[in-house]
Amino acid sequence: MNKTNGSGAQSDALVLFGVTGDLAHKKIFPALYAMAKRGVFNVPVIGVATSKWSSEKLRQRATESIKKSGKIDDQNALDHLLSLLRGCEIIDYAVCNILKNKVTKLPIRDFFTTSHL
């Protein structure tokens, strides 16, 4: 499950804001499953939302999402992806506003070329 593309540095985790929402359900979980099938996804997923979900509930939601988007044709890849889901942490609106203010003040070119977090 762990292939690299030779690009050097690897991420330590994927923090997924809005993990309980429609975008994650319709697009992100199926995309992560596709990456797991190719063997290029091997970092923990830390879900963030305004409601707290257990790891089990998040795994159920991801599985439903993948089933709706097509079919599950690689159980090992699905199991691998589900093992990387770490539940859903609560974030409040104050934190969201802080992040929004930091991001909106960055010039676009600097945001994509340097690390600000």
Would you say residue 68 lies in a domain? yes
Q: What is the pLDDT along the chain (117 residues), one digit of tens a residue?
A: 445 455 556 678 888 888 999 999 999 999 999 999 999 999 999 888 888 888 899 999 999 999 999 999 999 999 999 999 987 777 777 776 776 677 676 555 544 454 544
Tell me how far apart the alpha carbons of residues 3 and 6 are, in angstroms, rounded to a whole number: 9
Would you say residue 106 lies in a domain? no
Would you say residue 48 lies in a domain? yes
Tell me how far apart the alpha carbons of residues 96 and 26 are, in angstroms, rounded to a whole number: 22
Give the domain CATH number at 19. Answer: 3.40.50.720
What tokens were used for 25? 């359900």
**Residue span of the structural domain in which 19 resides:** 14-92
The closest of 117, 53, 37, 64 to 86, measured between CA atoms, is 53
Would you say residue 115 lies in a domain? no
Is this prediction's pTM over 0.85?
no
49: helix, coil or strand? strand
